[in-house]
Amino acid sequence: MTIAEPTTLAHPTHLAEYGTQPEYGTAAFDELVDWVNEIAALTKPDRIHWVDGSDSERQALLGSMVAQGTLIKLNEDKRPNSYLARSGAGDVARLESRTFIASEHKTDAGPTNNWADPAEMRATLDGVFDGSMRGRTMFVVPFSMGKVGGPISQLGVQLTDSPYAVASVEVMTRVGDEITELIADGTPWVRTVHSVGHPLELGEADVAWPSNDEKYIVHFPDTLEVFSFGSGYGGNAILAKKCFALRIASVLGRDQGWMAEHMLLIRVVSPEGRAYHVAAAFPSACGKTNLAMLRPSIRGWTVETIGDDIAWIRPGNDGRLYAINPEAGFFGVAPGTGESTNITAVESLRENVIFTNVALTDDGDVWWEGLTDTVPDHLIDWQGNDWTPDSDRPAAHPNSRFTVSAAQAPSISDDWEEAVPLDVILFGGRRATNVPLVVESFDWNHGAFMGATISSERTAAAEGTVGELRRDPFAMMPFCGYNMADYFGHWIEMGQSAPALPAIYQVNWFRKGDDGRFLWPGFAENSRVIEWIVRRLEGSADAVETPIGRVPAELNLDGIDTTDADLAELFAIDPDSWLAETDLTEEFFKTFDGRVPAELTDQLAAQRDRLQTAKRG
Ligand code: OXD
Ligand code: MN
């Protein structure tokens, strides 16, 4: 089967040397070609380009974006093979208000998602996608989440008219002909379609960052499809990431007995050389990349990076849960990533990086708030305007990002693409009050209760008021592809599927004192919390029972000056405030119309009893 001859290119580049359709001659491959043709018939691109994932093709793609003005090539001596993109003020973050779950039944999306009737949504999408790629190239990007052919891996194809999305997906996943080959052999794959929604009339000049004011990020969980329209940014455009690896994959996990989680993944090695694997869920822009690349301040401990954002978890034959990082790159938040806070990330970014919405230095390099302690005298800000330290706005957008291959991190594990047995799961959030530095759960169901009841202050990763407290169960609030209460139930069930379960802890690096100061230094010092957790697993550290879980009897504080008063505040558990949280949790659970599993409502009742006893006593 072949596709229709493309009409002439409106914007020819040497990229045109690549991109011919491969031939496999199998029914499974014909199905892929039929779908590509069907979407092309709807979106009407000038040309279809099959991405082969080769280096030469990538260089041509990047070159075409420089010629187009989408990318600025950075100083080759300072930042080899690296680029800066500026997205413009209207397209800077994930759009939760425009993200939809179009499941057949509304209850399957649940109260925490925007539901859309699938038939109505398809009609709407047919309208907006009609001719949306006119004047552009539609790229066919076959990708694998997880190593190609791996036992926990999944395949997908993204159709997109954004070369920036192609270049990003190439970093964030494994892209290339070997994936098309697996598809042609009959391996299942997920369909994802993306258009920036900015068609070009013949002769019309393109803009550096095409997008559309109208935006849709739509998931069809029953047919495993994603359609994203109008945005070129991050999770709205790199569909393998949040749309597939979390929203669609969470549905696959529910149906097939595994888990897709918003978790970083690390290997912690103790001074005795024992390795432990830790997965940690934190809401967006709460320091996941920092923890993933932690350089412990305590002697003898090392942390190796496996993933910084997503983990797929499956029960193994030995009764343990095994995890992979399905991604191949980091799409990290730049501000706050600095020489003093995450030197490993800074070292990972020396070359081969696509930066988006950071500031440009006068010598053609990049800068963002927190990168260095000294602030440059002059910059071009993320919107292309002159900037000096006196400017009353940030030089880099708070959600500016770097896109870089995971393999490039100095801390990456040698075997980072393999599945690892999980020893520990952490749940965290950004909480100025109430939540202690670390709390150990009593058991899996209590840990699931901790995960289900996490709230966090909003960050700039999505639209909304920064700082506002919101529920973010399992850090999955924006990423769960089905009813969150059923997802809670899936967690409870997973706890019954594997006899050797990881231990679950809640952490909070962000607690502040009455005077507004952070009570804990964070960053490298978080290794002290990990040390205590590992020693708990090994049975050599003590804990004190509280109504909300167990806290350290003692923490290794050698070499840091934390005052006793700060420590007391850091671990303070005020029964009244916690009882108030319990009431809010009850309200939250009620929004699910009785679907929250009894195991979690039992946990809530037990916690309330313990708090009331503590209050009386
Ligand atoms: C991310 C996010 O980009 O969570 O990882 O927003
Ligand atoms: Mn994330």
pLDDT band at 88 (very low <50, low <70, confident <90, very high): confident
Mean per-residue pLDDT, 320-334: 97
Out of 309, 402, 477, give the residue to mutate to test ligand 1, the one with the largest number of ligand atoms within 8 Å of its CB.
Answer: 309
Of ligand 1's atoms, which has the minimum distance to the CA of residue 284? 4
- 265 Cα–ligand 1 center, Å: 15
Of ligand 1's atoms, which has the minimum distance to the CA of residue 262? 4
What ligand has the least distance to the C-alpha of 332? Answer: 1
What ligand has the least distance to the C-alpha of 330? Answer: 1
- 141 Cα–ligand 2 center, Å: 22
Task: Please count the other Cβ atoms lying within 10 Å of the Cβ belonging to residue 51.
Answer: 27
pLDDT of residue 9: 38
Mean per-residue pLDDT, 394-401: 97
Out of 331, 357, 402, 479, give the residue to mutate to test ligand 1, the one with the largest number of ligand atoms within 8 Å of its CB.
Answer: 331
Q: How far apart are CA 191 and CA 346, in angstroms?
A: 35
pLDDT band at 222 (very low <50, low <70, confident <90, very high): very high
pLDDT digits (tens, 9 = 90+) for 366-388: 999 999 999 999 999 999 999 99
Of ligand 1's atoms, which has the minimum distance to the CA of residue 401? 3
The secondary structure of residue 81, as a DSSP letter, is: T
Instruction: Identify the CA nearest to 18 among candidates 195, 123, 141, 162.
Output: 141
Ligand 1, CB within 6 Å, residue ranges: 94, 234-235, 284, 309, 331, 461
Q: Which of 270-274, 284-288, 290-294 has the lowest mean pLDDT?
A: 284-288
Please say whether the beta carbons of 322 and 419 come within 8 A.
yes
What ligand has the least distance to the C-alpha of 464? Answer: 1
Out of 171, 333, 456, give the residue to mutate to test ligand 1, the one with the largest number of ligand atoms within 8 Å of its CB.
Answer: 333
Mean per-residue pLDDT, 591-597: 97
pLDDT digits (tens, 9 = 90+) for 520-554: 999 999 999 999 999 999 999 999 999 999 999 99
Cβ contacts of residue 336 below 8 Å, gap of 6+? 287, 290, 369, 370
pLDDT of residue 231: 98
* Residues with active-site annotation: 286
Check whether 81 has a pLDDT greater than 60: yes
Q: First CA to last CA across the chain, in angstroms?
A: 77
- 86 Cα–ligand 2 center, Å: 21
Tokens read off for 228: 């994203």
Question: Which domains does the chain show, CATH number per domain?
Answer: 27-72+91-257 (3.40.449.10), 260-328+414-573 (3.90.228.20), 330-405 (2.170.8.10)
- 451 Cα–ligand 1 center, Å: 18
The secondary structure of residue 241, as a DSSP letter, is: I
pLDDT of residue 5: 41
Please say whether the beta carbons of 252 and 246 come within 8 A.
no
Q: How far apart are CA 401 and CA 106, in angstroms?
A: 34
Nearest C-alpha to atom 4 of ligand 1 is from which residue? 284
Q: Which of 18-32, 155-169, 455-469, 504-518 has the lowest mean pLDDT?
A: 455-469
Beta strands 329-333 and 71-73: pairing type? Answer: unpaired
Give me the sign of the Cα torsion angle 593, 596, 601, 607: negative
pLDDT digits (tens, 9 = 90+) for 157-191: 999 999 999 999 999 999 999 999 999 999 999 99
In this predicted model, which residue has the larger pLDDT, 471 or 467?
471
Q: How far apart are CA 68 and CA 71, in angstroms?
A: 8
